[in-house]
Structure 1
Amino acid sequence: MRSSVLKLCLGPVDLHWLGSGLGFMLVDLALVASIANIMVGFGKKLRERQIPEWEQYYIAYKTMKKKLKEYAAQASRSKEDRHRVLREFSLMLDRQVEKTVLFLLDQQGQLALRLATLADQRTSIEKDAEDDDRIDRIDDAGEKTDWLIEEYRAVGNDLLKLLHFVEINATGLRKILKKFDKRVGYRLTDDYVATRSNHPYSQLQQVFKHVGIGAMVATLSRNLAELQSTKESLSIYEMPSTPSFYSQEPVIKAIKAAEDRLTNSTNFLRFLGQAALLPHEDTVSVEEVPEEEYHFLSLALNLGNTFLYMVNTYIIVPTADKYTASLNVAPTVCGVVIGAMAVAQLVSSVYFSAWSNTSYYQPLLFSSVMLLLGNIAYAVAYDYRSITLLIIGRLLCGFGSARAVNRRYISDCVPLKMRLQASAAFVSASALGMAAGPGGAGLLTFDTTIFGFTVNDKTLPGWVMAIAWLLYLVVLCAAFKEPTRSYPSPKRKSKSKSTPDLSILPSSRSGNTAEEGLLDPLLPQDSSLNNKDTDSDDEKSDEPANSIGEAYSLLTSPVKVQLLIYFMLKFAMEILLSESSVITEHYFAWGIQQVALFLGLLGLTVLPINYIVGSYFSNMFEDRQILLFSEIVTCVGLVVSFCYGGIPYTMTQYISGALLIFVSAEVLEGVNLALLSKVMSARLARGTFNGGLLSTEAGTLARVVADVSITLAGYLGTSRLLNATIFPTLIIGVVSVIGTLGTYNSMF
């Protein structure tokens, strides 16, 4: 009987999941179990949630870890020994997985059998109620219905317990593979994932394919919905996909969250928020950010700094070439003028990141002052006829880049339940600023003199931004509240008895859970044993990197590829935006208003595109699939944008190529940062030299190189500028595609 029910429960093989990467599902299920257990009140330490009677079915992480030390020494002897070690270690993993798989199948069969029994009992109760309409019989049927509901809830809780079992084993497998890669110096993860995720008889497919669990989720959802619904004739399949009882029924809510994670579901807000690349909420306990200390106006001012800075960055793009030309300098020197801000940001990102360890108000104040002075210098350079003063003004603006502070404030000072919305607001503020900057420049068409200073379309961006930063500075001094720093700093030791609500993580499929010590249940309960065989890398696993060199040493190949992709997309976007005024004037005789309108409309595509990807594409494809596709589309856009000799360069060609480059680069940014948070070491989630700083530095360096390239290419002549800048961008794009293919199996 059990075997037949089990067969019915598991159903046919889902070919879609056979082609998906194992690592991706490792992360999914780890997060699923965390979210589900938290939602049903399992807010205790993982050691307290250990299931003693299942201890023998967990993968033997401790044993494999000890064996790994022997293998690491043997693999260094010769090539033959290395091959033998790879084979033996893989077989050992296979045996551990097989043990877990068989137990999982047995438990799924037992749960399916309980559901089948409950279905029979429900049918019997309903038949008795139809045959006898006496009041006492009806009341008795109502009591039995309540009993059925509680029984279905009990099955749901046991299903969540089983998911937690999967989480612990998946996490252990992922971590032991990473340890093998590090100790032996060979990327076994790539080979193991590729062979086991695609083989038709892989034991791992039975764990990470969700058909069996999905069938039980459907049964539980349908029966609880029907038993609690007053619309007796309405099937659950005819109800809305998110019935109102989901918000009232804890078990259904938890299972629905698990179902969403298992089907690779996401939403616009979470997809948008992940682009902020904030430290994950599981590195901060709930008590560390008390809700009563949250100050909305301070958050608004923090986001205001983000918005104004992005406006400040791009407001000069439509007029920079004409400004430099008016100072008797080649128009292509606009690349240096625009890029000067990014050069200074390479330095400011580091000291602002360090400064945010002690204060938020002071760096925001300093940022506002520097940007105020920088914009004044930019504006008065016209009357002083000084290109040097113009560049100094932009350098001062770059020294005021507080994006590291903006990110850090959200992760440290916003309550957990609001952090997803704040992260999305951070990305939205950046996107709107990017659109408002060049778009607003097209409206600044005055030409007059005030107090002896020229105010025209070239200097107005500087004057307008100076006034904006002055007003911002006044409000900042009056309204910003420095948060209390009574909570422990980033050296995380999960002492809190409360568990954060992981359901609002910006990157809901993050792999950081695997790096944050979720393996306690895999270890012996005897603390004396736990204290033995503790590696130095385990002892330092909670410590942030203390220098750029140490941070760089933590970068694995997948992380380096992700940073290269980030460099590529920022390089492509900067080339497109910074040279747009020169290119469009040369080929199409566009003026400031036309360039501003074009760039403003490009910027406005950011939120709609992110909405489409976050709400639809992310539900149908893996992040790494979207990443690779977007890289290819970016390269296609670059090919379209080339000016081919003998063929007239048309406006349609330019706009089409620009749209492909810009839109695909925007999609790349969100997906790339989501994947970066998964493959990056947990030590880079905190401290001064964190993942956010590294990605900012990579993107800023890309902008610097791109702007310098525009200026250097200008010496070849305006007619050759387009191809001279597009070609190296295409080369970088192709290299990033090759790098993605080479580390594809590690991107989970």
Structure 2
Amino acid sequence: MVAFGKKLKQAQVQEWQGYYINYKLLKKRVKRYSQAQQSGTQDPQPQSVVLKDFSRLLDSQIEKIVLFILEQQGELAAKLASLGDHQHHCLTQQQQQQLSSSSNWLDVSELKESYRAVGEELLRLLCFVEMNAIGLRKILKKFDKRFGSSFTDYYVKTRSNHPYSQLQSVFKQVGIGAVVGTISRNLTDLQDHEESYTSIYDQPALSHPDPVIDSIKAAVSRLSNSTSFLEFLGKHAFIVQDQDDLGAAPSDVNGDLFVEERYHFMSLLLNLVNTFLYMVNTYIIVPTADGYSLTLGAAATVCGVIIGSMAIAQIFSSVYFSAWSNRSYFRPLLFSSIVLLVGNTLYALAYDLNSLSVLLLGRLFCGLGSARAVNRRYISDCVPLKFRMQASAGFVSASALGMACGPAMACLFQTNFKFCNLLTFNEATLPGWVMAFLWLLYLSWLWFSFREPPPYTKLLVVPKINAVSTMIGPLVNDAIEHGSTKPLLLASEANYEDEEGDHEEVEDDGEEDSEGSRSVEPVTSIASAYQLLTPSVKVQLFIYFMLKYAMEILLAESSLVTGYYFIWSTRNVAIFLACLGLTVIPVNVVVGKYINNIFEERQVLLASEIMVCIGILLSFNILVPYSASQYVGSALITFVFAEVLEGVNLSLLSRVMSSRLSKGTFNGGLLSTEAGTIARVIADGTITLSGYLGEQMLLNITLVPSLCICVSAIVATCFTYNSLY
């Protein structure tokens, strides 16, 4: 993969070359610092001197960039003011002299083209800002990695919070929104002039959307990290979203056309149904697991082991399914369905066999059938870019609906009869029998309808040269390597990752960066993946561990707690859990459309952690009699903000994680899944161990570790807060 410095040079607007960040100079300076520190023959500079020197160098680079941005904004503003005067003159002349419709049409057409031309200049400026913002983030990460300091934390904290911050001008695009609004408003006025003469303030969307405006909005959205509901929901899937350059149609990229050859709608639907059924399978037993364990002669708190045994097996199944999906999608899905069919059958038969061992074996089989890694990889590798966001949101929605439908189905199983005096069908066994039947149906559907996508071939992705890309500068695309088709995009910082072994091209002076002689390749082991985890990534994974632990404690012990304190029936517990699951979609609508576009993601992250902590604190049974309203209210706070936290956390994780973890077996999705699964295993084990102290102590004992982990996550977030800039 071509180095970022090489890409920066190739993507530059020629007449603006002197105003871009001098990434080559900054990289050489960082390299010189690290060599002086590591060499025994040279006297390394004191750390304070290095920090001061590099800070001044960065300050001068940022000042150069910001002053140029302001200069260009002034020129754009002057052009828009002139066009506004001309537009007002034309309208006034029409009203006074009653010009012919053909003459009016000509003036309007010329004005539209003039506004579009200004829009294209703004698009070029947005690309300039984006390239420099990426360069700043990368050089800060490189300094931290090479010099072994927390320079990013210091630099961002001292610069971004200052009242005269120039760093904010690069990352917040101050003033650009006003230019976008002026262009949009005037194009809308000109378009609707002969009709109702509406304004963008009365009718926000153009009746015939202008492609230039769409491209500008897409560029601003990338720079500001603003999201729509679908985008925010899709972040929960932790599927890397490629974006075509500056809003151009994704299907224009040859690499994506190749992906379309692998795409099959029915196969995608089968993956989403697999996700849905697996989540139903996970939570359908939660309301009845304690009663089932009592029936088999074990303590009610053994339900923690019953629920957690599925997660234990999932720790291993996630790895081999992730590796298997490198070669096939159909075979792992087929194997998953068969294993889940067997596992649910064993779970149901355990009642008549009066064997807790058979029950646990059945749940272990169910965990071994977890094909979520395959579902995620299919969306990432086989769904075209133009549908990938919707598919990612569908993946998360299927999971959320499965979480809600599982307990809801359990409350319907209020029956008790024997079939041929051999098999018992009651509220304990019906979850197993029903899921076995559903997996049998799914297996038949999979066998006849799934289409295995053709294998990747090594293609050269040739970019489409359009008016915008020609103006911005040449785009470079690499040959597709190691079974991955990914065009190089200016919009994605991950594609410029040059840490830990991507290929550094020879610079103009002939110097080659010795550290980067290898191409970006996926890691091949957990140990290699761990070496790529920076402190920020480790904190993000720890936060994911925390939220999954808190959610599992809440859900898995719900039947025990409500039965002990409020004498709730299985139906009541099932309805309660189903209602919690149904909050996922509405909450993500609010956060994705509003909250995430008002506040920074790191602000939402920290606030959500604090709210989860408050929810846990409110759950404790201390002094006053424990009431159902206290339990339901605290559970709702914990669950809702844990869901908010999941989307924001994974979004930030995708930005701070090395690009070598974006593909292959040991990818970022697998690491986050493993962190969450381990959290569930430990949480379920905590419930069972706490049960030995008695059900009256269960609630408070299980909440103590949740509270400690949550507080630790908040402290860790505060320490790495500025590195999430």
Report the TM-score when normalising by structure 2: 0.89
Of 237, 241, 251, which aligns to 1:276? 237
Q: In the TM superposition, what is the alpha-carbon distance from 1:70 to its structure 2 partner?
A: 1.2
State the 1:638 CA deviation. Answer: 0.9
CA separation in 2, counterparts of 1:457 and 1:140?
78
Give 1:722's aligned amino acid. L
1:675-723 per-position Cα deviation (integer Å, ceiling 9, x unaligned):
1111111111100000100000000000000011111001101110111
Deviation sequence 1:627-675 (CA, Å, 0-9, x none): 1111111111111111114x21111111111111111111111111111
The residue that corresponds to 2:190 in the other structure is: 227
Deviations 1:382-410 (A, max 9, x none): 11111111111100100000000000001
Question: Does residue 666 of structure 2 align to residue 701 of structure 1?
Answer: no
- Displacement of 1:255: 2.3
Name the structure 1 match of 2:49: 84
1:34 corresponds in structure 2 to none
Distance verdict in 2 for CA 1:494–1:53, change over 3 Å: farther
Q: What is the 5 A alignment of 1:515-664?
A: 515-517=494-496, 529=508, 532-536=511-515, 538-540=516-518, 542-645=520-623, 647-664=624-641
Question: How has the CA–CA distance of structure 1 residues 589 and 125 changed in structure 2, closer, same or farther, with 3 Å as cutoff?
Answer: closer
Aligned to 2:423: 453
Q: Output the CA distance in 2 between the equivalents of 1:199 and 1:189.
A: 15
Distance 1:244 1:78, change over 3 A: farther
- Secondary structure of the corresponding residue to residue 449 of structure 1: strand
Report deviation, 1:544. Answer: 1.0
- Supply the distance in 2 between the matched residues of 1:184 and 1:377 (Cα, whole angstroms): 56
1:306 maps to 2:275: yes
Partner of 1:123: 88
Q: For 1:388, what is the secondary structure of its paired residue?
A: helix
* Counterpart for residue 700 of structure 2: 723
2:476 counterpart of 1:476: no
Instruction: Give the residue type in structure 1 aligned to 2:561.
Output: I
Tell whether the 8 Å contact from 1:286 to 1:499 is kept in structure 2 after alignment.
no
The CA RMSD measured in Å over matched residues stands at 2.6
Equivalent residue of 1:101, what SS?
Answer: helix
The alignment partner of 1:516 has SS state of helix
1:240 to 1:393, Cα distance in 2 relative to 1, 3 A? same
Match of 1:37 in 2: none
Task: Please name the residue that 1:406 is paired with.
Answer: 375
Report the equivalent of 2:463: 497
Instruction: Tell me the equivalent position of 1:4.
Output: none
Name whichever of 262-271 and 58-67 sits farther off.
262-271
Kept after mapping to 1: 8 A contact 2:133/2:170? no
- Alignment map for 1:61-140 (pairs within 5 Å): 61-75=23-37, 81-133=46-98, 135=100, 139-140=102-103
For residues 34-76 of structure 1, what are the alpha-carbon distances to aligned partners after superposition, in whole Å with 9 as ceiling and x for unaligned? xxxxxxxxxxx87664311111111111111112111113346
- Residue equivalent to 1:326: 295
Q: Which amino acid aligns with 1:352?
A: F
* Distance apart, 1:256 and its partner CA: 3.1
| Alignment of 1:358 onto 2:358 | no
- Which residue identity lines up with residue 463 of structure 2 in the other structure? K
Q: Which amino acid aligns with 2:395?
A: F
What fraction of aligned residue pairs are identical, expressed as a percent? 55
Higher mean displacement: 525-534 or 709-718: 525-534
Superposition deviation, residue 117 in structure 1:
2.1
Instruction: Give, in whole Å, the separation in 1 of the partners of 2:171 and 2:255.
Output: 31
**Equivalent residue for 2:227?**
266
Give the letter aligned to residue 110 of structure 1. E
1:737 and 2:718 are equivalent in the alignment: no
Range that drifts further, 230-239 or 580-589: 230-239
Alignment deviations for residues 218-249 of structure 1 (CA, whole Å, 9 cap, x no partner): 22112222222135773524431122232xx2
The number of residue pairs the alignment matches comes to 682
2:392 aligns with: 423
Matched, 1:195 2:158: yes
The SS at the match of 1:455 is: strand
Corresponding position of 1:9: none
Residue by residue, what CA displacement relative to the aligned partner does 1:596-643 show, whole Å, maximum 9, x if unpaired? Answer: 111111111111111111122112112111111111111111111111
Q: 1:515: Cα distance to partner?
A: 3.5
Distance 1:436 1:540, change over 3 A: farther
Residue 436 (str. 1) matches residue 405 (str. 2):
yes
Q: 1:78 to 1:625 in 2, by over 3 A?
A: farther
One-letter amino acid of the structure 2 residue matched with residue 663 of structure 1: V
2:43 and 2:257 mapped to 1: Cα distance?
A: 50
TM-score (norm 1): 0.87
Structure 1 stretches lacking a partner, 5+ long: 1-44, 503-509, 520-524
Distance in 2 of aligned mates of 1:399 and 1:477: 20
Q: Counterparts of 2:366 and 2:200 in 1: how far apart (Å)?
A: 57
CA distance in 1, matches of 2:201, 2:675: 50
Q: Partner residue of 2:651?
A: 674
SS of alignment partner, residue 236 of structure 1: coil
> What is the DSSP-based 3-state SS (H/G/I as helix, E as strand, rest coil) of the residue aligned with 1:280?
coil
1:268: how far off? 1.1
Matching residue of 2:120: 157
AA partner of residue 78 (structure 2):
L
Deviations 1:532-590 (A, max 9, x none): 32343x44462111110010111111111111111111111111111111111111111
Q: Structure 2 CA distance, aligned partners of 1:176 and 1:526?
A: 17
Task: Supply the distance in 2 between the matched residues of 1:152 and 1:617 (Cα, whole angstroms).
Answer: 32
Which amino acid is 1:62 matched to? K
C-alpha contact 1:289 1:413 (8 A) present in aligned 2: no
| 1:137-180 residue CA offsets vs partner (Å, 9 max, x unmatched) | x6445323322221111111011111111111111111111110
Inter-partner Cα distance in structure 2 for 1:78 and 1:329: 68
How far apart, in 1, do the equivalents of 2:151 and 2:43 lie?
17
SS of the residue corresponding to residue 508 of structure 2 reads helix
- Alpha carbons of structure 1 residues 153 and 420: separation in structure 2 relative to 1, 3 Å: same
Does residue 143 (structure 1) correspond to residue 143 (structure 2)? The answer is: no
- 2:248 alignment counterpart: none
Instruction: Measure the CA separation in 1 of the matches of 2:303 and 2:142.
Output: 49
Change in 2 beyond 3 A, CA 1:328/1:149: same
Q: Which amino acid aligns with 2:334?
A: L
The one of 207, 214, 217 equivalent to 1:253 is: 214
Shift of 1:486: 3.0
Contact map agreement 2:411 2:571 (CA 8 A) in 1 = yes
Structure 1 residues 395 and 54, CA, compared in 2 at 3 Å: closer, same or farther? same
2:434 aligns with one of 460, 464, 487: 464
Q: Secondary structure at the match of 1:281?
A: coil
Over 3 Å counting, the alpha-carbon distance change for 1:499 and 1:141 in structure 2 is: closer
Give the structure 1 partner of residue 483 of structure 2. Answer: none
d(CA) in 2 for partners of 1:599, 1:349: 26
| Letter matched to residue 55 of structure 1 | Q
Q: State the Cα distance separating 1:122 from its structure 2 match.
A: 2.7
